Amino acid sequence: MILVFTFADANEANKFEYLYRKYKRLLYHKAWEILHDHMGAEDALSETMIRVYRNMDKIDDPDSPQSAAFLTTIVRNVSLTLLKKKGAYTLMPDGDEEEAFEQADTFDLEMSVLDAISEERLCLIVARLDEVARNIFVLKYAYDLSHQEIASQLGLTENNVTVRLHRIRKKLAKMAAEDGVCA
């Protein structure tokens, strides 16, 4: 299948291409972590980019932590959907097809939407952190970097990154509770 994307202007096309080039490795890696299948990860990456194209208006700054979190959320959801479709029959050891279909149908769209809303609200909370804290958090949880790699990139010690991450998680938990994102 060949897809042709049409963009409103050259800036939008450049933004889409930039997003793809910047995040394709991260997105592929996240998909592979869920699917453990190279072809499936490629499919998830392709479907993710189709969804990104459809939602270009939701991405203001391609370099922002919110954009990385948005793309990571999309690829995670696409990968989980592919995993559920792929595993519909393999989940049942005795081959009971009716029970397998019931398990495959347990994908709850409402919960998926609520998860996405919660993640969006969490991104807004993360955006309220100071720049260094936000960078540490995004590098750890969106880019899945080790404490040592974060320290190297930000010119901090590994111990300092560990301490700051602990404080950031506590602060985010408090902010999320205040905003009603979690109990």
C-alpha span between 112 and 79 (Å, rounded)? 13
| Residue extents of the structural domains in the chain | 7-94, 130-183
How many CB atoms within 10 Å of residue 8?
9
Decide whether 7-94 matches 130-183 in CATH topology. Answer: no
CATH architecture classification, 130-183: Orthogonal Bundle (1.10)
> What pLDDT, on a 0 to 100 scale, did the predictor assign at position 45?
93
pTM comes to 0.49
Tokens of 85: 């479709």
> What pLDDT, on a 0 to 100 scale, did the predictor assign at position 114?
45
pLDDT tens digits in sequence order for the chain, 183 residues long: 566 778 788 899 899 999 999 999 999 999 988 888 889 999 999 999 999 998 888 888 999 888 888 899 999 999 988 888 876 444 444 444 444 444 444 444 444 444 554 667 777 888 899 989 988 988 888 777 889 989 988 899 999 999 999 999 889 888 877 876 654
Q: Please report, for residues 43, 96, 140, 181, the alpha-carbon distance to residue 93 in angstroms, rounded to integers and kept in the order given.
A: 26, 8, 37, 38
> What pLDDT, on a 0 to 100 scale, did the predictor assign at position 96?
45
> What pLDDT, on a 0 to 100 scale, did the predictor assign at position 64?
87
136, 154 Cβ separation under 8 angstroms: yes
Give me the CATH code for the 7-94 domain, please: 1.10.1740.10
> What pLDDT, on a 0 to 100 scale, did the predictor assign at position 116?
52
> What pLDDT, on a 0 to 100 scale, did the predictor assign at position 117?
47
